[in-house]
């Protein structure tokens, strides 16, 4: 049975006038404080306490769960020393936890020790010390406890110290771990290692210089000192897929070798425990398509749970966006395929399961073609017809390889209007292939017009080569092509104001209305520049405003689609009073006595020296 060693914790919060705050003798939570900037004195770097599981097996040295009576007398009877260094307070420095604020981390709902802001003195200073009994520790032993305070702007922080000699006076606590902000809104684990071995005491100090604005309520629960006996290694190298239909696949590496006994893995999704897995592969098929999910995994040992792995973000494709999903694992061509042997020899595209192409990315089978000793390859594999829109970008992926690098192969992927090879566009040209392991091809394209098309794989290798294989063909509709404005700038020249802008992609883009303002409020159209309709190519545009006369001018672009919809760019500003070149004018009068005038122009801020 777990043995609980009783101990006393003592923190005080500063006294407040009752007309400024409600007295907390009734343990009523404070939720209506005004936020203020924190004013803290004499503290080290603050740390946010956050929850993490305990990731070691352990031998307990000292613990207090606070599940019993937590009055001052009971705390002191359990071996703790309480020092009220501020000398004030209208409530007990420490008392029983209350469900009116929050429940305990573990055990009975009120099974934690609590303190509030009314523990401070008349100057608003809280300085309370909770000092442990003498305990024998070895360097590396851990002190753990959980803290929580209500959500708000209050500091509610603690300092944690060690007395290396075991002395109980405040001056004996010469080692400080630091100052830590209590976890707000949920219990957080505080954990640090003792720096040296010996018979020591540790102390928790609650110090706030102004309890009116910087303190509220603090709870501490489940304190223990223990020797970790083994580290529970977490999984590593977590990856999450982003290109599967209706699912996300996770893969990770087994933890580093240890003497612990691994039972299973826990899968966390968006910060919460979601499922378990007996292997290092997990498929999440309860996802919303086109939505990002953050995953982590931990290792569950008989001895406990490891820390969480690094995070990986995964998402699933919408099944409606998939145009082609072909892995050839049926062993035959589906009805969507048409194979044309244009050179009429004995060899053409087939679904292969030969030793040359086992262990393909999609399994066992692939689409492949072998050599002809006398004739060059001229063979087509058409997938379709499929309906495509010139308003959309399509992504095509597939794997390809040759049998041997010494036998290069030629492959082209084309968009055709029929199975006779009438080519509308070449999607990808891959001549001289020498990769004897599967490599991924990944490309985007936009059809020149909407209609029914075929995706055609055209092998054109020279005679007497070896084998060419294609596998895992996956094509998706990635959505409407945006008008993506990548830059917009204005500059002053002798000709006027030159506007330059560029687009990365365009869809249905009629053009750009150029608008000018002298006050950055009211804009008027001054010109129109035609767009490029639909394109995925980068396009540069230039316009020179020769009629500007104001000292300052503001410009923006109104992008207009063919259907009349529009969107505005950001606004750029030009100052026409700034010179465009470095210049200096003849002084006048010349000769002069006793003074003369010299005019010069600087297009940028510069250091000027004039020698006479």
Interval 306-354: pLDDT, tens: 888 999 999 998 888 899 999 998 999 999 999 999 999 999 999 988 6
Q: What burial letters (b/e) apply to 359-390, b meaning 16+ CB within 10 Å?
A: ebebeebbbbbbbbeeeebbbbbbbbbeebbe
Residues of the chain with CATH 2.60.40.10: 236-317, 481-612
Higher-pLDDT residue of 272 and 8 is: 272
Positive/negative CA dihedral, 328, 284, 397, 419? positive
> Which stretch, 140-144, 318-322, 452-456, 552-556, has highest mean pLDDT?
452-456
Percent of the chain with pLDDT over 90: 47
Specify the higher pLDDT residue, 127 or 22.
127
CA dist 563 and 391 (Å) reads 13
Q: Averaged over 16-28, what is the pLDDT?
A: 28
**Prediction pTM value:** 0.47
DSSP code per residue over 579-602: -SS-EEPPPBSSS-SS--B--EE-
CATH of span 236-317: 2.60.40.10
What order of strands is seen across the sheet that includes strand 236-240? 236-240, 248-253, 281-284
Please name every residue paired with 418 in a beta bridge, in sequence order, or none if there are none: none
Q: Is the pLDDT of residue 53 over 50?
A: no
The per-residue pLDDT for 177 is 86
Rounded Cα–Cα distance for residues 91 and 25 (Å): 6
Round to whole Å and give the CA distance between 559 and 565: 8
pLDDT for the residue numbered 355: 55
How does residue 86 score in pLDDT terms, banded at 50, 70 and 90?
Answer: confident
Whether the per-residue pLDDT at 575 is higher than 80: the answer is yes
Neighbours of 153 (CB within 10 A): 14
What span, in angstroms and rounded, lies between the C-alpha atoms of 189 and 108? Answer: 18
Q: Which residue has the tokens 């990548």?
A: 486
**Pick the residue with more confidence: 33 or 149?**
149
CB of 311 closer than 8 Å to CB of 296: yes
d(CA 427, CA 394): 11
Q: How confident is the model at residue 243 (pLDDT cuts 50, 70, 90)?
A: confident
Sequence ranges of the chain with CATH classification 2.60.120.200: 46-230, 346-477
Higher pLDDT, 584 or 233: 233
pLDDT at res. 8: 32
Written out in words, the top-level CATH class of the domain with range 46-230 is: mainly beta
CATH 2.60.120.200 fits 346-477, yes or no: yes
Residue 14 — very low, low, confident or very high, per pLDDT cuts 50/70/90? very low
Residue range 543-553: average pLDDT?
Answer: 88
Contact assessment for residue 166 and residue 175, using Cβ atoms and an 8 Å cutoff: no
Average pLDDT over residues 274-284: 95
**CATH level 2 (architecture), domain 481-612:** Sandwich (2.60)
- pLDDT of res. 212: 74
Residue with the two structure tokens 């629960």? 221
Q: Does the CA dihedral 190-54-228-257 come out positive or negative?
A: negative
Look at the alpha carbons of 377, 379, 381, 387 in this order and tell me if their dihedral is positive or negative.
positive
Instruction: Give the DSSP H/E element, type plus range, for residue 48.
Output: strand 46-48
Q: What is the pLDDT of residues 159-213, one digit of tens each?
A: 999 999 999 999 999 999 888 888 788 888 888 888 889 999 999 998 888 877 8
pLDDT value for 4? 32
Long-range contacts of 285-289 (CB under 8 A, 24+ apart): 285/246, 285/247, 287/246, 287/247, 287/248, 287/315, 287/316, 288/316, 289/246, 289/315, 289/316, 289/317, 289/318, 289/319, 289/321
């Amino acid at each position: 049975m777990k043995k609980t060693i009783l101990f006393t914790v003592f923190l005080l919060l500063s006294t407040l006038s009752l007309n400024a705050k409600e007295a907390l003798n009734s343990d009523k939570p404070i939720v209506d404080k005004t936020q203020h900037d924190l004013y803290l004195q004499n503290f080290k770097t603050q740390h946010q306490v956050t929850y993490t599981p305990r990731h070691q097996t352990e031998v307990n040295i000292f613990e207090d769960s606070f599940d019993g009576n937590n009055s001052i007398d009971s705390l002191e009877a359990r071996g703790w020393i309480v020092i009220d260094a501020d000398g004030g307070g209208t409530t007990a420095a420490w008392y029983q936890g209350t469900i009116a604020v929050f429940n305990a981390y573990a055990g009975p709902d009120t099974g934690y020790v609590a303190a509030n802001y009314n523990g401070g003195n008349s100057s608003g200073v809280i300085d309370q010390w909770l000092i442990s009994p003498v305990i024998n520790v070895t360097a590396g032993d851990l002190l753990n406890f959980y803290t929580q305070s209500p959500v708000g702007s209050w500091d509610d922080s603690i300092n944690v110290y060690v007395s290396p000699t075991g002395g109980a006076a405040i001056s004996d606590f010469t080692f400080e771990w630091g100052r830590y902000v209590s976890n707000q809104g949920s219990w957080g684990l505080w954990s640090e290692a003792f720096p040296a071995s010996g018979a020591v005491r540790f102390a928790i100090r609650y110090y706030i210089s102004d309890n009116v604005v910087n303190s509220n309520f603090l709870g501490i629960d489940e304190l223990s000192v223990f020797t970790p006996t083994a580290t529970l290694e977490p999984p590593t190298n977590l990856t999450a897929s982003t290109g599967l239909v209706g699912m996300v696949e996770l893969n990770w590496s087994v933890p580093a070798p240890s003497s612990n006994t691994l039972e299973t893995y826990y899968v966390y999704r968006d910060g919460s425990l979601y499922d378990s897995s007996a292997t290092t592969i997990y498929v999440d098929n309860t996802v919303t398509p086109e939505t990002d999910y953050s995953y982590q995994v931990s290792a569950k040992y008989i001895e406990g749970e490891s820390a969480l792995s690094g995070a990986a973000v995964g998402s699933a494709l919408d099944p409606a966006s998939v145009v082609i999903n072909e892995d050839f694992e049926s062993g035959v061509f589906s009805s969507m395929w048409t194979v044309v042997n244009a050179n009429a020899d004995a060899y053409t595209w087939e679904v292969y399961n030969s030793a040359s192409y086992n262990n393909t990315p999609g399994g066992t089978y692939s689409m492949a073609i072998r050599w002809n000793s006398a004739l060059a390859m001229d063979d087509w594999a058409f997938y379709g017809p499929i309906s495509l829109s010139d308003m959309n970008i399509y992504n095509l992926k597939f794997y390809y390889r040759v049998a041997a690098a010494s036998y290069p192969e030629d492959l082209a992927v084309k968009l055709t209007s029929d199975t006779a090879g009438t080519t509308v566009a070449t999607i990808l040209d891959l001549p001289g292939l020498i990769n004897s392991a599967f490599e991924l091809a990944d490309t985007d394209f936009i059809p020149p017009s909407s209609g029914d098309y075929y995706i055609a794989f055209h092998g054109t290798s020279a005679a007497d080569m070896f084998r060419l294989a294609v596998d895992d063909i996956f094509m998706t509709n990635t959505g409407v092509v945006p008008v993506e404005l990548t830059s917009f700038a204005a500059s002053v020249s002798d000709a006027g104001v030159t506007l330059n802008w560029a687009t990365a992609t365009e869809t249905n883009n009629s053009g750009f209305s150029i608008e000018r303002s002298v006050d950055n409020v009211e804009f008027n159209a001054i010109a129109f520049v035609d767009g490029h309709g639909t394109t995925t190519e980068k396009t540069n545009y230039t316009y020179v405003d020769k009629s500007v006369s104001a000292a300052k001018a503001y410009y923006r672009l109104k992008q207009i689609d063919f259907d009349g919809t529009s969107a505005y760019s950001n606004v750029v500003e030009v100052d026409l009073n700034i010179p465009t070149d470095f210049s200096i004018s003849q002084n006048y009068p010349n000769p002069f006595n006793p003074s003369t005038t010299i005019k010069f122009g600087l297009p940028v801020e510069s250091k000027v020296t004039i020698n006479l």
